[in-house]
A and B are shown apart, each in its own frame.
Chain A
Amino acid sequence: SQTIHQWPATLVQPVGSPLSLECTVEGTSNPNLYWYRQAAGRGLQLLFYSVGIGQISSEVPQNLSASRPQDRQFILSSKKLLLSDSGFYLCAWGWGGSEQFFGPGTRLTVL
């Protein structure tokens, strides 16, 4: 069976500090990978998706970037965090169709 891991579970970072969130998937090969953010009181917003190693598509302009160095590893980064980057970050995987499977999420607070 497939599992998806995200870490850390919670993170408190000062404004201007760097960020690195990691997501890994087990039990499948060549999945599509996704990063979402849920801001307070808002729905899930797709930030990035990837259909293969090194292939990243950005959905919204922002202070964040994503990388996929290995088939089942997806990393969300920032060089300098903003207050508006606070939120609940979710990684998900899928097989190219609509159904996606989400990780447990990371709660990021930028102070």
Chain B
Amino acid sequence: GAVVSQHPSRVICKSGTSVKIECRSLDFQATTMFWYRQFPKQSLMLMATSNEGSKATYEQGVEKDKFLINHASLTLSTLTVTSAHPEDSSFYICSARDLSGEGYGYTFGSGTRLTVV
């Protein structure tokens, strides 16, 4: 079935450094990728939508200069948290539009737990 490989699964970084999270679709072409953030005991909140070859669309309140999204190919989308701070500690998860139909069009990565110290 359709798989989205997300790496790393866990990362601890120092305050002020940048962290890159990758989501790779393994057996399908993901023209659109959605990036979500989930704080403890809360729901998934959409951060941005990225389409292959074009600039990402960010949700209101999400700093595009802080959360850089690149979707340069049909199989890879990346989220870079720049100059991370403790308040950026969260669970980040991607979701690819999968037109093959499995999951009724949405395939999730396994998530990345980011801790900024």
* A and B interact physically: no
